[in-house]
Amino acid sequence: MQEQPQVLYKNRYVPGINTLEVYLQHGGYESFRKALTMTPDAIIDEVKASGLRGRGGAGFPTSVKWVAVPKNRDQEHFLIINADEGEPGTAKDRDLMNALPHLMIEGCLCSLMALNASKCYIYIRGEYIEPWKSVQKAINEARKAGFIGKNVLGSGLDFEIYTHLGAGAYECGEESALMSSLMGERGMPRMKPPYAPLPQVKGVWDKPSVVNNVETVSTLVPILAMGGAEYTKIGYGSPRSRGTKLFSISGHVNKPGIYEIVLGTPFNEVLEIAGGVKGKLKTYIPGGSSMGFAPPTPMDYPFDYEGIPQNTKTLGLGSGGLIVFNDTVPIVPLAARLTHFYHHESCGKCTPCREGLNWMAKIYDRILAGAGRESDVDLLWDICDNIRGKSFCPLGEGAIWPVMTSLTLFRDEYLQYIRTGTYTPPVAVTTAG
Amino acid sequence: MSVFSEETIARLDELISRYPTKKAALLPALWVAQDVGGGVLNPDAMEAVASHLELPPAEVQGVATFYTMYNKVPRGKFAIEICHNVPCMAFGAEELIAHCEHSLGISAGETTPDGHITLARVECLGACCNAPAVQIGSKYYENVSAEHIDALIVQIKSLPDNPDHTPQGLISETASF
Ligand SMILES: Cc1cc2nc3c(=O)[nH]c(=O)nc-3n(C[C@H](O)[C@H](O)[C@H](O)COP(=O)(O)O)c2cc1C
Ligand code: SF4
Ligand code: FES
């Protein structure tokens, strides 16, 4: 196994690293001090050189998002941190906020510098009371130490960071819905370009706004510390997948956990890092449930932004929530559960998602109750086809992906399940001796 | 007269000061109102939030009903929330739910007749690597076994009240952390 350089997690297991005192002893806030001496353009150039892509799910290049923000400072700009982590299988932002809150706060400050902004809101999902307290405590400490507030470190610049607690809506993780929610509205998505201006031009309160994931801004800290060019040397994936990423590895592996892994690490090594598969690999979800189910082969492809969709026909790396299933698990209840999840979380704004998922949930219920028909397999596919490309926001697209991939990979198992109401795991072949 | 104490009003005003508009303080204000209500968002508290934020009451209600964590109907003093999404499902979440239903004598989604405990199914809690995961109030419990949850139930039954659901409980004063 290749060694995995720890960049974000370098000090993850240092006792007390969540306190300012210990964080400072380990070089804390040095990247921010450096950022204070740089121009916004110079910071964005480092980020561009690093090749950093958004860690929240979409993988959009961070520097490209940032250069679209107007340069003038005659109106307020806002940075919004997406800590709404709700994608099934994803647990990394919770760990970052619990264990390394100052890393995230420092990342926010560096990003504020890059964006010529002074106000940051951290939108944390309502269930995350403990991470919220951890982050708020770090903000209070950083304020006392002069990293937040007026005239920070004598720079003449003001920085404010606020936490904002959500209240239970997966859709609020979608960035335009998140902005609506932050403004005190229902968490419904908004029209996007080309039909509406970019949020970087007209976002919350009609001011230039940037939404970034917790891990994305945290990664700014090591990038500024080592320089963007140095950061690209980490990793052996494609030129478009540089650096490391946090993966939440759950399901049937021997050591489930959150691991910092170099992008492009072969998939079988990723599994080894998590202690190897418990039992025989049946399928896995590479990056949070919306990405869909992947076949058990190939195993030796680069696990990164390009490698995953090319080799598995899933949507891709997503949020880094890798969920592994062995062959004791029937596929139909998994797909049924996810369909119910998306149906429950559908915001109801557009018909294909709202109605289509309602139908699909009913069909799955009927199959699970033993009253399914063989034609349900095609019916599910047809409904997916009607949602595909027609939903107002990506939730609808993410909802059909686990269903379509499961139908493609496990059509026979669906039919068997419908006919017999049960799933018979394949018989293990034991070799004598 | 408002249903809120002077202290609560001061907290709402501090929240309002964080945003460019009063309306933006709506979600945090509803959290405070729910806290004050001992874990329930009462109609009169919603009304008071509306008047304090200068919003139409119908708008406040519309927002409150969109988000599942605002409890418009009373729940038990303690809510045992068990994640049933796929990683937890692969580690026995359904069996754990069935176990709790049996030991509490209620179905998921219901509250015990004495009003003490609500059992609920929830979606991914972000603790998938330690499945199955359970949330009780602000606290997470991970890798939860049937024995573990039995012990938690015994403990909860012995507590008269949930410390999370005091006016300063779940969403306590942020400045004091
Ligand atoms: C339904 C839905 C839920 C999402 N949930 C999250 C989330 O919880 N956290 C997150 O960072 N991004 C989430 N995203 C992605 C965001 O819309 C957005 O791409 C991301 O926050 C941008 O930050 P990044 O560029 O730093 O990744 C979600 C997207 C959709 C469509
Ligand atoms: S696809 Fe449509 S209904 Fe579904 S969450 Fe997005 S906007 Fe709402
Ligand atoms: S699926 Fe249960 S915590 Fe994520």
Residue that the structure tokens 């076994």 belong to: B145
User: Is residue B167 lining ligand 3, measured as CB closer than 6 Å?
Assistant: no
Which residues fall within 8 angstroms of residue A7, CB to CB, at 6 or more apart? A219, A222, A231, A234, A243, A244, A260
What CATH number was assigned to the domain covering residues B6-66?
1.10.10
User: Is residue A317 lining ligand 2, measured as CB closer than 6 Å?
Assistant: no
Assign residue B38 a region (left: φ > 0; alpha: ψ between -120 and 50; beta: otherwise): left
Residue A429's pLDDT is 56
- For A249, phi then psi, to 5°, come to -110, 115
Q: How many angstroms separate the alpha carbon of residue A112 from the centre of ligand 3?
A: 32
In B, which residues are within 8 Å of A76 by CB distance? 20
Joined together, the tokens standing for residue B55 give: 């919003």
Ranges of residues in chain B whose predicted pLDDT is under 50: 1, 176
Q: What's the average model confidence in pLDDT over A133-157?
A: 96
* Residues β-bridged to residue A61: A53
Judge: B69–A249 Cβ closer than 8 Å, yes or no: no
DSSP 8-state class, residue A154: G
Judge: A165–B171 Cβ closer than 8 Å, yes or no: yes
In A, which residues are within 8 Å of B53 by CB distance? 184
- The whole-angstrom separation of Cα B92 and Cα B131 is 8
Question: Contact at 8 Å (CB) between B88 and B128?
Answer: yes
Query: How crowded is residue A354: how many other Cβ atoms within 10 Å of its Cβ?
Result: 17
Structure ipTM: 0.94
For residue A80, the SS3 value is strand
- The whole-angstrom separation of Cα A414 and Cα A427 is 18
Q: Is B10 exposed, middle or buried (0-12, 13-18, 19+ CB in 10 A)?
A: exposed
From A323, which residue of chain B is nearest by alpha-carbon distance? B87
Q: What's the average model confidence in pLDDT over A145-172?
A: 95
Task: Return the axis-axis angle of helices A351-368 and A376-387, rounded to nearest 10°.
Answer: 160
- The whole-angstrom separation of Cα B134 and Cα B121 is 9
From A76, which residue of chain B is nearest by alpha-carbon distance? B20
Q: What's the average model confidence in pLDDT over A375-399?
A: 96
For residue A393, the SS3 value is coil
- The whole-angstrom separation of Cα B16 and Cα B23 is 8
- Kindly report, residue by residue over A286-305, the tens digit of the pLDDT: 999 999 999 999 999 999 99
Question: Contact at 8 Å (CB) between A42 and A83?
Answer: no
User: Is residue A391 lining ligand 2, measured as CB closer than 6 Å?
Assistant: yes
From A135, which residue of chain B is nearest by alpha-carbon distance? B177
Question: Contact at 8 Å (CB) between A283 and A294?
Answer: yes
Distances (CA, A) of A200 to A204, A212, A300: 9, 12, 39
The pLDDT confidence band at residue A433, using thresholds 50, 70 and 90, is: very low
Q: What's the average model confidence in pLDDT over A255-270?
A: 96
Q: Is A75 exposed, middle or buried (0-12, 13-18, 19+ CB in 10 A)?
A: exposed
- Kindly report, residue by residue over A323-366, the tens digit of the pLDDT: 999 999 999 999 999 999 999 999 999 999 999 999 999 999 99
- The whole-angstrom separation of Cα A181 and Cα A202 is 16
Q: How many angstroms separate the alpha carbon of residue A181 from the centre of ligand 1?
A: 14
Sheet holding B78-83, edge to edge: B117-122, B78-83, B134-136, B139-141
Joined together, the tokens standing for residue A424 give: 């018979």
Residue A332's pLDDT is 97
Residue A237's pLDDT is 62
For residue A140, the SS3 value is helix
Sheet holding A119-124, edge to edge: A160-165, A119-124, A78-83, A209-213
What CATH number was assigned to the domain covering residues B78-158?
3.40.30.10
Percent above pLDDT 90 for chain A: 91
Mean pLDDT score of chain A: 94
pLDDT at A104 over 70: yes
Q: What's the average model confidence in pLDDT over A379-392?
A: 96
DSSP for A237-264, written as a single string: S-TTS-SEEEEEEEESBSS-EEEEEETT
pLDDT at A430 over 60: no
pTM for the full model? 0.96
In B, which residues are within 8 Å of A285 by CB distance? 86
Residue-range domain boundaries for chain B: 6-66, 78-158
Q: What's the average model confidence in pLDDT over A49-64?
A: 95
Distances (CA, A) of A100 to A127, A142, A280, A321: 19, 13, 35, 19
- Kindly report, residue by residue over A405-421, the tens digit of the pLDDT: 999 999 999 999 999 98
Question: Contact at 8 Å (CB) between B154 and B78?
Answer: no
B52, B82, B86, best to mutate vs chain A, most A CBs in 10 Å: B86
Residue A124's pLDDT is 97
Joined together, the tokens standing for residue B167 give: 């006016």
- For A79, phi then psi, to 5°, come to -110, 130
